[in-house]
Structure formats: C-alpha cells, structure tokens
C-alpha cells in the first residue's frame, strides 16, 4: 500500500514466502558470490518501485535466454527501470538499488517507511507506470541457473570474490501499483499535513500493489515447461 501526500510517500508492505536465510556453508556462499560474513544472515531482499516499462509483471515469456529464470534485466521491458529503492534507511534513490545492507531481509517481513519520493517516480505512479518488485530467489528451490549464473546487473557484493549469483537479484515478487477505490476516502486527516497549501492535488491518494505472485511458483512453471521440451 502506498499513500502519497504531496511528495511524501508512505509505503506499507507485508511480504511472505521468500527465501529466509542465506546458506551457512562457506563453499556454497563462495559459489554464489556471497561473502562469508553473511553466513546464515537473513536473506536480503532488495526492492524497488520500477517505472516506465509496460506496467506489467513479466510472464514466463520474459525468460528470453530460456534458462528457467526471469532475470532482473529480462523483466525490465515489463516493469521498467528502477525509480525508487524501497530501502530501510538512507537514500531511496537508484544508487541504493543493490545495497543489501539497507534491504529488508528474511522470508517474511513488514516494511513501512515514509520518505520524500523523487519526481520521476511520482510522475510514473500518476501515469500508471509503476510496479513494485521484490528481488531474491530461494536457493533451495530456484532453478539451477539462478545458482550458477551471475546476476544480470553485474553486481559484486563488497568482499566477494565473484559476481553475485542470479538468486541475489532476480525478481521474486511483483505487483503493479494501481489507484485504489480508496482515493475517495474522507481526506480531512490527510490534508491537514498540507497546511492549507493549494495546488497539491495528490493528498490522500492510495495505491495498492496487487497480485504479488511471480515468485517461486512462476519460476517452477518455466522450469517444468523447458524440462519437457528438451
């Protein structure tokens, strides 16, 4: 759920069903491009509001190299590039897009943050071109390519000896932001924040991300399909 008041955005998000912890085995971590210091830590899930794509979540056909995984780059025609990083602290700009230390972590988490949203993201939301994407696949059930191929963004974690495997960045959850019926809700409480400023028309607009359903299920469908064909 996203509430916009002028340029102040409040995001409330509850996530479940994701990878919960990073592996503890050092060799496994090294093979995935994850520094040993992260052993057993909550699995970081970088998350963003992607903007100005086709306002869609990628379907199986987005897997253009047929490796069974929709990489972040393969998904971009559908959901667009990063407009805002839904980080836990610090900047919400694209510069924090892959900063795992400010990403929420674990298999289930609740995220809530109010921040000044950049104009590009605000415009995209108004134009219905904004999609929430949560990244990071579960090593236990991800297709093999997600473990053996480097991530599509070329991210190398600080202290790692190789590029992060695709499980670290591939999209796990995705939902389009759509204007909710609630934008007609009584607005007095929200509008007091504007201090009577005129010209702010966005107060009290609510947006919800529906159908966060890409995830392991969709990935497994892809894997099964290609398994039969080949």
Nearer CB in complex with Cu ion: 19/133: 133
Residue 48 in contact with Cu ion, rule: CB under 5 A: yes
Q: Enumerate residues 118-157 that contact Cu ion by CB under 5 A.
A: 133
**Lateral strand order in the sheet of 81-85:** 81-85, 47-51, 130-135, 171-179, 205-210, 2-5, 8-15, 109-116
- Using CB under 5 A, count the residues that bind Cu ion: 2
- Selection from 210, 212, 206 nearest residue 16 by Cα: 212
176 counts as binding Cu ion under rule CB under 5 A: no
- Min dist CB 213 to Cu ion, Å, is 16
Q: Which two tokens stand for residue 222?
A: 């892809």
Closest separation in Å from C-beta 50 to Cu ion:
5
Min. distance of Cβ 46 from Cu ion in angstroms? 6
Rounded CA-CA distance 223/155 in Å is 24
Does position 45 bind Cu ion by CB under 5 A? no
Interface stretch with Cu ion, choices 7-15, 28-36, 43-51, 172-180 (CB under 5 A): 43-51
Give the nearer residue to Cu ion in terms of CB position, either 60 or 153.
153
d(CA 146, CA 159): 21
Which residues contribute to the site for Cu ion (CB under 5 A)?
48, 133
């Amino acid at each position: 759920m996203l509430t916009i008041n002028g340029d102040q955005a409040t995001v409330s998000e509850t996530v479940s069903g994701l990878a919960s912890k990073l592996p503890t085995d050092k060799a496994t971590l090294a093979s995935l491009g994850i520094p040993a210091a992260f052993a057993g830590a909550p699995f970081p899930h970088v998350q963003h509001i992607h903007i100005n794509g086709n306002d869609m979540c990628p379907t199986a056909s987005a897997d253009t190299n047929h490796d069974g995984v929709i990489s972040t780059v393969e998904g971009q025609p559908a959901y667009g590039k990063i407009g805002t990083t839904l980080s836990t602290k610090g900047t919400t700009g694209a510069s924090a897009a892959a900063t795992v230390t400010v990403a929420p972590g674990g298999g289930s988490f609740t995220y809530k943050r109010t921040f000044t949203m950049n104009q590009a993201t605000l415009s995209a939301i108004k134009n219905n071109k904004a999609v929430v994407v949560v990244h990071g696949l579960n090593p236990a059930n991800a297709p093999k390519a997600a473990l053996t191929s480097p991530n599509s963004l070329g991210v190398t974690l600080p202290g790692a000896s190789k590029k992060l495997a695709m499980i670290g960045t591939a999209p796990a959850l995705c939902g389009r932001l759509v204007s909710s019926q609630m934008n007609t809700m009584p607005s007095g409480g929200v509008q007091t924040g504007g201090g009577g400023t005129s010209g702010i028309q966005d107060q009290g607009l609510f947006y919800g991300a529906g159908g966060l359903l890409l995830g392991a299920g969709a990935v497994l469908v892809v894997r099964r399909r290609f398994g039969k064909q080949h």
